[in-house]
Chain A
């Protein structure tokens, strides 16, 4: 069965600074990898996803993520954060042949002026 670890529960960055959120997965084959964002009091919205091919994936709102098979990682990055990026971020992994996703426990991002 697949699993996801997000080692950082809470991260604080200054507005304009760069951001990297970590995600490590466990799965025997090539996984399907996702990043979702949840703004306070809202549902989850897809930021980006990786299926195959180019290991650097571009998403919405200026986010990108890089799939590194050797490190079993799929870290999310943004070069310059905005106050509106304050939210909770979830990494998720899916397996081929079924629809289910396994989510990590989330990383809460706080932006300071």
Chain B
């Protein structure tokens, strides 16, 4: 099994450009998440999807949109990139049965530089 895959691995954007980060999981998980990782800040939740057809804001949603395309795929879109969005983005998934505290499985990350 591939687990959680993310594309692209690296991306350089100019301020104002848009792009979509793709994430897919093959573990039949219900819940999926997007995080950003910045030095000294740990991981911060951008958006999550508890189940297919639902999405909710996390801690830092401004400037982002998400789409839960189907049970496998969860994309993150930057409509107008800003230098403050330079970061490493991680997608994760979990089985999602609302008991809380489930293991999240992470993708390898996308490194984004906004000039």
Q: Which residues of B lie under 8 Å from residue A105 when comparing CB positions?
A: 40-42
CB pair A99 B90 closer than 8 Å:
no
CB pair B100 A94 closer than 8 Å:
yes
> Is A46 positioned at the interface, with any CB of B under 8 Å from its CB?
yes
> Is B101 positioned at the interface, with any CB of A under 8 Å from its CB?
yes
Q: Interface residues of B, CB < 8 Å — how many?
A: 29
What is the interface of chain A mostly: helix, strand, loop, or mixed?
A: loop
Q: Which residues of B lie under 8 Å from residue A106 when comparing CB positions?
A: 42
Q: List 13 A-B contacts (CB under 8 A).
A: A31-B101, A43-B4, A43-B107, A44-B43, A94-B102, A95-B101, A97-B98, A97-B99, A99-B48, A99-B98, A99-B104, A100-B48, A101-B104
* Residues of chain A having any CB pair with chain B under 8 Å: 9, 31-32, 34, 36, 41-46, 49, 51, 90, 94-101, 103-106
